[in-house]
């Protein structure tokens, strides 16, 4: 009875993934065409970000706002889809492009999120840290660089055949762990997203788990995954634990719905302008000085961060 239910659930999931592959393949050319059209619209993406869903909006710190105002493009690519019938549809690549600015040298910053499954059944997005080449001020206050350096150290140790546990004795690990412990999660820049790692699960382990052939990767899993229940392999060093949530919000909400978010923002701003105009007109007719420094117009329904 339970086996039948599990089989049906798997078939439903396969149907959803097949639909996602076909939808992405069909809409991708139009989304690229949309991107070209957006290039002619000033401040399109900063306006969209200002209307972002809560998963993104609540992660934006005041110090992030000027840098986000420099956005010229956002792209979401399901890069592991091979065609309408093949490939992993849940992996995504986020690409953010910026005009020249005072915060970093990068014109484009890309980050890939890979869909992985552990032996115990955990599934979700994992990633590798991406370095941002900062100018005078690191908006993540050192966390992103520390994460990148720790990841490089892990690669060095793996190349030497050392156990992953050895990384926890290094200075890179200790410094980052201490910094993470001292930093409130709700104070981390949204640019910390580029340091998100998630669980340490290799593509081989993930494929074995999805195929139900755990014995084939048993030896690799002990060194590559770090834990059988899908826990982070290196404790206390994840600088952006909500990275999957934010990435999914970009991929499944903000990016496909960008035009709707932009239109909603413009309609709201037009309504506010009309209300303020009416309010100023009424004040003028009543003899009030609309230029009085104590004059207060109609409040915004949503405070603008990017005005």
The yes-or-no verdict on residue 35 having pLDDT over 80 is yes
pLDDT, position 235? 74
The pLDDT, as a whole number, for residue 200 is: 86
Task: Return d(Cα 38, Cα 97) in angstroms, integer.
Answer: 13
Q: Note the pLDDT of residue 282.
A: 58
Long-range contact set of residues 161-170: C-beta below 8 Å, sequence gap at least 24 = 163/223, 164/200, 164/223, 164/226, 164/233, 164/234, 167/234, 168/234
Measured in degrees and rounded to the nearest 5, phi and psi for residue 130 equal: -115, 130
Work out the mean pLDDT of the chain and round it to a whole number: 85
Tokens standing for 193? 């997203």
Angle subtended at Cα 63 by Cα 62 and Cα 64, rounded to the nearest 5 degrees: 90
Question: Percentage of the chain with pLDDT > 90?
Answer: 66
Mind listing the pLDDT tens digit for each residue in 102-134? 999 999 999 999 999 998 888 999 999 999 999
Average pLDDT over residues 274-300: 49
Distance CA 36, CA 20 (A): 24
- Residue of 157, 128, 133, 155 whose CA lies nearest to 145: 133
Number of C-beta neighbours around residue 190 at 10 A: 23
Where is 94: in which H helix or E strand?
A: strand 92-98
Three-class DSSP category at 71: strand
Paired residues of 127 in beta bridges: 113
> Rounded to an integer, what distance in angstroms lies between the CA atom of residue 115 and that of residue 91?
5
Other residues' Cβ atoms within 10 Å of the Cβ of residue 60: 18
Provide the β-strand partners of residue 108: 97
Distance CA 18, CA 30 (A): 20
Q: Do the Cβ atoms of 225 and 118 come closer than 8 Å?
A: yes
β-pairing, 86-87 with 123-127? unpaired
How do residues 247-273 score in pLDDT, each as one tens digit? 999 999 999 999 999 999 999 878 766
List CB contacts of 84: < 8 A, sequence separation 6 or more.
21, 22, 25, 26
The C-alpha atoms of residue 223 and residue 150 are separated, in whole angstroms, by 17
pTM (global) more than 0.85: no
Measured distance CA(153)–CA(169) in Å, rounded? 11
- pLDDT number for residue 209: 84
- Asked whether residue 302 carries a pLDDT value surpassing 50, the answer given is no
CA distance 157 to 200: 15
How confident is the model over 24-39, as a mean pLDDT? Answer: 97
CA 190 to chain centre: 8
Burial of 222 (C-beta count, 10 Å sphere; 0-12/13-18/19+): middle
Rounded Cα distance, 125 and 112, in Å: 9
């Amino acid at each position: 009875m339970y086996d039948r239910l599990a089989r049906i659930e798997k078939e439903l999931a396969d149907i959803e993934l097949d639909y996602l592959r076909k939808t992405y393949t069909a809409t991708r050319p139009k989304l690229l065409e949309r991107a070209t059209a957006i290039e002619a619209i000033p401040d399109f993406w900063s306006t969209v970000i200002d209307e972002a869903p809560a998963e993104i909006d609540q992660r934006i710190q005041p110090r992030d706002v000027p840098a986000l105002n420099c956005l010229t493009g956002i792209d979401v690519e399901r890069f592991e889809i091979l065609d309408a019938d093949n490939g992993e549809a849940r992996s995504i690549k986020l690409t953010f492009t910026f005009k020249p600015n005072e915060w970093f040298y990068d014109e484009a910053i890309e980050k890939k999120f890979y869909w992985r499954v552990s032996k115990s059944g955990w599934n979700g997005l994992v990633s590798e840290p991406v370095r941002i080449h900062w100018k005078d001020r690191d908006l993540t206050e050192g966390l992103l660089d520390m994460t990148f350096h720790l990841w490089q150290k892990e690669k060095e140790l793996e190349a030497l055949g050392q156990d992953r546990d050895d990384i926890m004795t290094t200075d890179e690990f200790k410094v980052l762990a201490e910094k993470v412990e001292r930093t409130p999660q709700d104070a981390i820049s949204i640019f910390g997203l580029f340091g998100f790692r998630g669980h340490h699960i290799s593509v081989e382990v993930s494929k074995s788990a999805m195929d139900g052939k755990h014995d084939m990767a048993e030896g690799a899993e002990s060194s590559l995954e770090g834990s059988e229940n899908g826990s982070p392999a290196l404790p206390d060093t994840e600088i952006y634990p909500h990275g999957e949530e934010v990435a999914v919000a970009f991929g499944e909400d903000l990016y496909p719905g960008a035009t709707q978010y932009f239109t909603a923002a413009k309609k709201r701003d037009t309504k506010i302008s009309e209300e303020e105009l009416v309010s100023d007109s009424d004040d003028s007719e009543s003899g009030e000085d609309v230029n009085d420094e104590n004059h207060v117009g109609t409040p915004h329904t949503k405070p603008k961060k990017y005005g």
